[in-house]
Structure 1
């Protein structure tokens, strides 16, 4: 008989399974970052996490599926962090002037989308792998579009609070912001102690936001 999900025993199993899945994901990030995605194995992930192959395959069909699950988890957290930061800016009335609001938006974007050395390496390696695999390439593109659209919605609210609105297709703004993040991340990781590189990163975000938005005439959105 299949246990009912509202029974205490079923809740414990569900919690245990979630914990196992999370520990495997945490272990995988360490393994991927240390060894490189292409040189990592299921056995290495299981050894790092302290689980058997059976535990792995009861949660993931492959390392590819595991990475996509890891990517989605990080993406959800990014949206949550960015949304919370945006709420703080709006609640504080971060700026009476549009230029101040753009600076505030940029600061929140930079803080909520950090430059992470380990994640950048893992993500870059998986992206290269996905480019050689049509099905993965398509799946990754769909996920990128979804996360970018979610972030753009938050940016839209912040711009509106500063009396501006997105100019043209919001997707174009999203792609431009992603391009700035990806490009400047490499520079920041290569020269982490050069303040000019970090200042340039923020300046480019402001320039993109300015170029892809316009002042609202009359009432704000």
Structure 2
């Protein structure tokens, strides 16, 4: 019994998170209710509140889950990179960038939640801290690749924030014109320019 309860709870949370993404994307975060999420997941309000205190908490858990998945993808791309695969900043960016997803449903949900958080100082602080932690988790992989080509990052925080800005800004453009390869190529080009601008040749390289 002691091993089955945690598994059941994990499954309940997973189904609630999956259902919430669908509901938020379809209805909009501000118009979604706990009842809608529960109905989509097939659970009662009791099951919801035994896992999350509110829809805000559920969103933040969803963001945590997606961030962990992204970091796993970055780690896999980094670990699989061959010795000669990264020869310059462009090749480093082209290796890691595909592991950072551009997702229509998630963008709609996260954009709405960001607007919601801007009206709530407590949520704003939590989102800022979460973005900082995501950028911090990304940096070891990028710095590891840059080290291979004799470059270093003088200001990790500045580069992390700049890359988040690149991702956020180009995501909406890519989603508006998903079939246009030029838009996607510009996303890559901008990332290359930013990484080049915020890194420098290592001394003695």
Normalising by structure 2, report the TM-score.
0.96
Aligned length: 205
- Aligned-residue Cα RMSD (Å) equals 1.2
- How far the C-alpha of 1:104 sits from its partner, in A, is 2.2
Q: Counterpart in 2 of 1:10?
A: 2
Structure 1: segments with no counterpart, 5+ residues? 1-8
Q: Could you list the per-position Cα deviations for residues 66-118 of structure 1 after superposition, in whole angstroms to 9, with x for gaps in the alignment?
A: 000000111111111111111212x44313x3x2xx22221133211121000
Equivalents in 2 of 1:218, 1:94: separation in Å?
Answer: 22
For structure 2, the residue ranges without an aligned partner over 5 or more in a row are none
Q: TM-score, normalised by structure 1?
A: 0.89
Question: Is residue 31 of structure 2 the alignment partner of residue 42 of structure 1?
Answer: no
Partner of 1:83: 75
The question of whether the paired residues in 1 share the 8 Å contact of 2:77 and 2:99 is answered with yes
Q: In structure 2, how many angstroms separate the alpha carbons of the residues matched to 1:110 and 1:155?
A: 10
- Are 1:181 and 2:181 an aligned pair? no
Q: Say whether the 8 Å CA contact 1:86–1:105 is kept in structure 2.
A: no
**1:94 equivalenced with 2:81 (yes/no):** no
Task: State the partner residue of 2:93.
Answer: 106
> 1: distance between equivalents of 2:41 and 2:92?
38
Match in the other structure for 1:125: 112
Q: Following TM superposition, by how much is the alpha carbon of 1:152 offset from its aligned partner in structure 2, in angstroms?
A: 1.4
Instruction: Report the counterpart of residue 156 of structure 2 in structure 1.
Output: 170
The counterpart of 2:53, out of the listed 58, 61, 83, is 61
Q: Distance in 2 between matches of 1:189 and 1:25?
A: 23
Distance 2:101 2:11 in 1: 26
Partner in structure 2 of residue 142 of structure 1 = 129
Secondary structure at the counterpart of residue 3 of structure 2: helix
Report the Cα offset of residue 216 of structure 1: 1.9
Larger radius of gyration: 1
Q: Match of 1:156? A: 143
Q: Counterparts of 2:174 and 2:80 in 1: how far apart (Å)? A: 26
Give the SS at the match of 1:217: coil
Once the 2 structures are TM-superposed, how far is the Cα of residue 123 of structure 1 from its aligned partner?
0.3
Match of 1:216 in 2: 202
Q: What is the distance in 2 between the residues matched to 1:52 and 1:105?
A: 47
